[in-house]
Chain A
Amino acid sequence: MDYLLEVHDVSKKFGDFTALNKVSIAVPKGSVFGLLGPNGAGKTTLIRIINQITMPDQGRVILDSESLQPKHIKDIGYLPEERGLYKSMKVGEQALYLAQLKGLSKQEAKKRLKYWFERLEIGDWWNKKIQELSKGMAQKIQFVVTVLHEPKLLIFDEPFSGFDPINANIIKDEIIRLKENGATVIFSTHRMESVEELCDHIALIHQSNKILDGKLIDIKRAYKTNTFEVGINPFQETGFENELISRFKTSKASYKSIGDELKYNVKLSDADSANDLLDFLMTKGSVCHFVEQVPSANDIFIQSVKSN
């Protein structure tokens, strides 16, 4: 596979504290890569190393088949979790300054800012000071500044915090659009539903170590337990439950429904297939619910962090 970013065995210590211990990740070109982990796991340190804010003690970082170096700053757009803007500076001036720091010329920056400001319908903020704007408004400007220089690699650390659902949706759509236009996105968040929605790949960092990574689908496959959620109205209720329990490993389920069927979780053994279960059920009653229980990103997160 073609990787935009490869991190090889990166370690970082702060005094006696190990922030990262030989962490490796590979981010495929054009993907949305979820960088997950509990608080204090080392995500921010890793992101800072990729941004050349902190230097790693060991290991290499490769961006677009080149060793990471200062010229790559313009290839990366970074929206940190701890973010802010100069409060007493005007929106336009500030955006221009930050864009120029990323290597854009003043004219080019102005042109692109105009486009983005119109796109997000914030054009009339140009001459306002940041302190006059609400938090969500300032966040929007930060987002624009992050993506303005059209970097190959975008790093978003909790991009949706501070947004109302409508604006969060706008930003989400923009991220998807940027990805479709060829950008690669690293996405760090604690909101698992947005991981499900956006990420193709994930890596999970826990206590300075990477404990899991790969395609989200593959990981889900690996984590599935062959358990099916079943809803049935048996032809003959007496004896049905005992028969089911003796045939399959069964427990009571409690999903939400509008009927009054019997609800079970059925875990299949290696010898049985889903069809075997369904065949069995169909002979015993009318099946109204049959779903494989796929582990959510949330489940995987909690399960793998706990087991480590």
Chain B
Amino acid sequence: MNHLPLIIKREYLTKVKNKSFIVMTILSPVIMIALVAVVAYLSQINNNAKREVSVLDNSGLMQSVLESTDNINYSFLPNMSLEEAKTLVEEQENYGLLYVENSIDVDTLANNIKFYSVDSPSLTFIGSLEDKLGNYLTDLKLERLNVNIEQIRNSRVRVDIVQESFVGEKTSKTDSIVKLIFGGAAGYLLFMFIIIYGNMIMRSVIEEKTSRIIEVIISSVKPVQLMLGKIIGTSLAGITQFVIWIVLGGILMLIVSSVFGIDLMQSQLTQQELINQSANTGAVSFEAQQVLVAFSNLPILNLILAFIFFFIGGYLLYSSLYAAIGAAVDNETDTQQFMLPILMPLILAVYIGIFTVIEDPHGMVSTLFSHIPFTSPVVMLMRIPFGVPIWEQLLSLGILIGTFVFTVWVAAKIYRVGILMYGKKPSYKELIKWIKY
């Protein structure tokens, strides 16, 4: 008799109807969005605050350099001593006092610029001030050396290496970043999914043991069927939760950003822009265009298919091990010693994905670990955006499926014996003995 659908249905319904599951499903996106909104709101307030900066300029050069903006207001103090200026600024509760000495030599001038303030000023503020003054004083020095500044500006050369594979695929640095984000997200998603729902499977196996219903159940169904039913049912509940999170998160994001007028994407975009700007001081719109191009360059179909197969394969591989652990022990506190060997390859995979795949997506280490079954789902998902030959993907998937079948077999053996064992926590030696029964 095939009871698999019945078991899946029960596992799914009990999970979905569980109160804490429902609360988590609804509350998580709310909390996430609320956090993001609060951070965005606070940083907006912070950015909008206007800074009053007083300048005591003895050189008389700064008037043209320091122009007040929306955020910073420079007020130039009349001729007075530094001590007088300090007291005045402190009384006025200004953001700070910029002091420029008078000197004919530009270098001496540059070395004697000081900023006085109550609290230490923000790094970005000082940075931009230094940039501004530095640029101006460089120009001044060049002028005094009778160098034509225009000529220097025009003779600057910018290099953008166009990368192209032998079959004609064009790539660029932006491409790589987009690929990395894509692959990283896919790999990380799998990692999270395994940990959250693997644990859920394990707990549900332990629950069956502690409530002693297990013997009643397996007098009706085969342990393997029960195990698979559990894994599939819990995964479906997990997928349900994920989908709800995404949909609910999206809706909430829309509502929050439209109601409160906070552009949530803005804060992230500006960061992105900053990175791009520091990478190459080029036009932002050009960068954005490149991102779009890079996105359309991704092997989308391959990515989606690979994601589905590696996700399922990797997830089933690990969740069968979680089920076996659940069967081997009596309570959750005993699971620790068996969790480590499961978490190790998983964490290793993420680190390899982050550090090695970025450096060299087709290097020895990346290639090797994208074929070892316990790391391959995560590493391969991160590699695929960079273009992995189909045969290599299939080989890796084949190894993964082979290993999956093997671990399910082993897990089923441990499960079959373990679920009827109560009392002491088994050692690894005993587990191996169980496999041989």
Q: Name the residue of chain A whose CB is nearest to the CB of B210.
A: A84
Q: Name the residue of chain B whose CB is nearest to the CB of A87.
A: B211
Interface residues of A in 153-195 (CB under 8 A from B): none
Instruction: Give the size category of A's interface with B.
Output: 20 to 34
Interface residues of B in 387-428 (CB under 8 A from A): 420, 422
Given the complex of chains A and B, what is the CA–CA distance between A48 and B416 in angstroms?
12
* Interface status of A204 (Cβ within 8 A of chain B): no
Q: Is the CB of A78 within 8 A of B219?
A: yes
Q: Which residues of B contact A14 (CB under 8 A)?
A: 437
* Interface status of A259 (Cβ within 8 A of chain B): no
Q: Name the residue of chain A whose CB is nearest to the CB of B215.
A: A80
* Interface status of B217 (Cβ within 8 A of chain A): yes
Given the complex of chains A and B, what is the CA–CA distance between A15 and B434 in angstroms?
9
* Interface status of A83 (Cβ within 8 A of chain B): yes
Give per-residue flags for B206-228: 1 if the beta carbon is below 8 A from chain A beta carbons, else 0: 01100111011111111000000
Q: Is the CB of B215 within 8 A of A82?
A: yes
Q: Is the CB of B220 within 8 A of A86?
A: no
* Interface status of B141 (Cβ within 8 A of chain A): no
Q: Name the residue of chain B whose CB is nearest to the CB of A81.
A: B215
* Interface status of A51 (Cβ within 8 A of chain B): yes
Q: Is the CB of A53 within 8 A of B213?
A: no
* Interface status of B14 (Cβ within 8 A of chain A): yes
* Interface status of A88 (Cβ within 8 A of chain B): yes
* Interface status of B3 (Cβ within 8 A of chain A): yes
CB distance from B24 to the nearest CB of A (A): 16
* Interface status of B114 (Cβ within 8 A of chain A): no
Given the complex of chains A and B, what is the CA–CA distance between A101 and B1 in angstroms?
9
* Interface status of B362 (Cβ within 8 A of chain A): no
Of B207, B208, B220, which one neighbours A98 at CB under 8 angstroms?
Answer: B220
Provided the pairs A86-B14, A97-B6, A97-B10 are in contact, do residues A78 and B1 lie with their beta carbons within 8 angstroms? no
Q: Which residues of B contact A86 (CB under 8 A)?
A: 14, 207-208, 211, 213
Q: Is the CB of A53 within 8 A of B218?
A: yes
Q: Name the residue of chain B whose CB is nearest to the CB of A99.
A: B220
* Interface status of B156 (Cβ within 8 A of chain A): no
Q: Is the CB of B217 within 8 A of A84?
A: no
* Interface status of A40 (Cβ within 8 A of chain B): no
Q: Which residues of A contact B278 (CB under 8 A)?
A: none
Q: Which residues of B contact A142 (CB under 8 A)?
A: 216
Given the complex of chains A and B, what is the CA–CA distance between A140 and B433 in angstroms?
38
Q: Name the residue of chain A whose CB is nearest to the CB of B18.
A: A88
A→B interface (CB under 8 Å): 14-15, 48, 51-53, 70-71, 73-74, 76, 78, 80, 82-89, 97-98, 100-103, 142, 145
Q: Which 4 A-B pairs have CB atoms at the shortest separation, nearest pair first?
A: A84-B212, A101-B220, A80-B215, A84-B211
Given A80-B219, A86-B208, 19 other A-B residues pairs in contact with their CB atoms under 8 A: A14-B437, A48-B420, A53-B219, A71-B1, A76-B219, A78-B215, A78-B216, A80-B215, A80-B216, A83-B212, A84-B212, A85-B216, A87-B207, A88-B14, A89-B14, A98-B220, A100-B3, A102-B220, A103-B1
9 A–B pairs (Cβ distance < 8 Å), ordered by A: A78-B219, A80-B215, A84-B212, A86-B213, A97-B10, A98-B217, A100-B6, A101-B6, A101-B221
